[in-house]
Structure 1
Amino acid sequence: MKTAAMKSFTKKEWTSADELIAESAVSEALTESSTQVDKSNDSSSVSVVFPKRPQISMGRMAEAHQNTLNELSVLSQLQHENIISLLSVVVTPPSILIEYAPMGTMKLMYETYHQSSQRLSPCVSQITIVQIASGIEFLHKRSIVYRDLKGDNVLVWRFPTPNNPPLVATNNEVLIKLSDYGIGQFASINGLRGFAGTPGFIAPEIIKYHGKEVYSNKVDIFSLGMVIYELITLHPPYDKFNQQQANQAIESGVRPSLSKKDLNSLILQRELMIWCWQQDPEMRPTATQVVEVARSQQFCRLVDGIRIDNDGRVLCVCHREIPITLRQKN
């Protein structure tokens, strides 16, 4: 979800959603489809999302309006700890009040860790995958296909800092939620059509047929594989490619590479990533299977080697056993 026109308002000033939206809209030339406004001086922060004023064409206006309606249609049915909540709706101008993420997006977390020359700890990676997959599982059980899963659309409420990683992460240290359902769709029993997503995260079956053939919710699992890649490398897949090159690579089965440093990540995390980004959607796991594997006791213990702290104490020991469910798929 792209963010613009950020401004703080006191509780006293928060008297009219119309005035708030109008003031924010005037503050910047608005050409995108949505924005956020932080009400940071109240204990329950919110964001306001509304169609921006397009400066190009009526087509862009219609698209922005439709994306807002899609997001409202999806959000109105969702109540889950890892799904951003819809708080209220304003009719004129059309706007949506949603939760405000105090720590921004997962992309910002990647950048913060990268700038500190740190990697996500095994336990933080594990619980992050569990929470993202739990949100996707919730959507899929309600026949909703997300279609734009990426670090930019994963919002962060709680996350450890690079210099103070916990040895064991829980929901007290990590809380993330999926956002931006402008291109999310309810799928029929036969699947759905349409070209949607972000280059580098789009499933090959969408690219191959330009969205004109029916596909399933397994497109979200492919994107989840790319998000796991982001968790390992701290950068987006195919970040050196342009849009056409990224699409061609995915369609031909070429996957982003890992550096030597990346290979210090959890073995099961890498295996799960490979399972998720399989070329054949039928070979990918369901979101429920991803949650089960990521929640397994072995997941954050399986590291390639021995991890010790500065005092020589062993933190993790290598173990290459792979669960049967994962071994059968690969």
Structure 2
Amino acid sequence: MATITRPGSLRNPEVADLFEREDPDRVFDDLREIGHGSFGAVYYARHVTSKEVVAIKKMSYNGKQSAEKWQDILKEIRFLRNLRHPNTVTYRGCYLKESTVWLVMEYCLGSASDIIEVHRQPLREEEISAICEGCLSGLAYLHSLGKIHRDVKAGNILLTENGTVKLADFGSASIASPANSFVGTPYWMAPEVILAMDEGQYDGKVDVWSLGITCIELAERKPPYFNMNAMSALYHIAQNVAPKMSSPEWSKEFQHFVESCLQKNPPDRPTSARLLSVGTECNWNLLRTLLIQIEKWEL
């Protein structure tokens, strides 16, 4: 009979190898909370010795379903530490203290969602184009490895001080494609994810759909159906025609890009690699001429 390892146990060498041995409270100081969610909280911190500024995601596995929480945390650590791409957030290490995992990553100034909130207005088309380029580059990399992000949205798209786009938050990611789990954030969820439990599997094209919804979010400050409760939104996503940009003022190229991402039939939807190559053919650099200037909002 297989032995069930208790949450937090490091008796398994493969699990123990995921964690640094030092006390994280001695390794990092100047911790300040900069975000939170159902998983826990994210902190700004500084490495005591190197003085490098990092972001630390603290995740507790206490309470109900602790075994499932522990396994989900281990999955996210393994996923992130194996990524090697300029458009995915960089792993810096992991620590374990008092039933809490400290996942250390490179520090980014904020998310695309933060920028919308700070400026209280939509982004310009050139800025959205620059963000899309970085996202597609990161997604094409993930998809080439047979992985799916499954939670692409403005809140999970981070930007560094020099304007580099970073895909982040891989807590919902799938290490295998195709997949069939009902995972993600409702308003950004692709129709085939909603229908997967009844109608089979899906692949990385669900991230392309979510990117299309994110474009609308960045252009209009909210995703489609955001005025509805989550269950009603899921029904409309699955049953209605695909949403479109509400304003005709956007360029035909941008509207066509969003329309391509939001093809309801997955075979009609381009892959991330195809969209990236089309962007290259159109010269992304022309779209980056007004690359977003990020303000350092107070932490």
TM-score, with normalisation over the residues of structure 1? 0.70
CA distances 1:219-260 after superposition (whole Å, capped 9, x unpaired): 11111111111222122232111101110111013334533x
Match of 2:265 in 1: 280
Counterparts of residues 189-228 of structure 1 (less than 5 Å): 191-210=178-197, 213-228=200-215
Counterpart selection for 2:76 from 57, 71, 74 = 71
Counterparts of residues 1-330 of structure 1 (less than 5 Å): 16-18=23-25, 32-39=38-45, 44-52=52-60, 54=62, 57-59=63-65, 61-92=66-97, 93-102=100-109, 104-113=110-119, 115=120, 117=121, 119-158=122-161, 172=162, 174-188=163-177, 191-210=178-197, 213-259=200-246, 262-297=247-282
Q: Distance in 2 between matches of 1:295 and 1:233?
A: 26
CA contact 1:200–1:237 (8 Å) conserved in 2: yes
Q: Distance in 1 between matches of 2:188 and 2:269?
A: 15
CA contact 1:145–1:184 (8 Å) conserved in 2: yes
CA contact 1:144–1:187 (8 Å) conserved in 2: yes
Seq. identity, %: 25
Compared CA separation, residues 145 and 82, structure 1 to 2 (3 A): same
Match of 1:163 in 2: none
Query: Per chain length, whose mean CA-contact separation is higher, i.e. which structure has more relative contact order (CA < 8 Å, sep 6+)?
Result: 2
Q: Distance in 2 between matches of 1:211 and 1:78?
A: 32
CA contact 1:266–1:299 (8 Å) conserved in 2: no
Q: Distance in 1 between matches of 2:222 and 2:107?
A: 24
Structure 1: where are the runs of 5+ without partners? 1-14, 159-171, 303-330
Q: Distance in 2 between matches of 1:272 and 1:233?
A: 16
TM-score, with normalisation over the residues of structure 2? 0.76
Q: Distance in 1 between matches of 2:250 and 2:280?
A: 16
RMSD: 3.1
CA apart distance, 1:125: 2.0
Compared CA separation, residues 196 and 231, structure 1 to 2 (3 A): same
**3-state SS in 2 of match to 1:241:** coil
CA contact 1:101–1:157 (8 Å) conserved in 2: yes
Structure 2: where are the runs of 5+ without partners? 1-21, 288-299
**3-state SS in 2 of match to 1:206:** helix
Q: Distance in 2 between matches of 1:112 and 1:31?
A: 19
Compared CA separation, residues 176 and 211, structure 1 to 2 (3 A): farther
CA contact 1:268–1:299 (8 Å) conserved in 2: no
Aligned residues: 260
Q: Distance in 1 between matches of 2:92 and 2:279?
A: 31
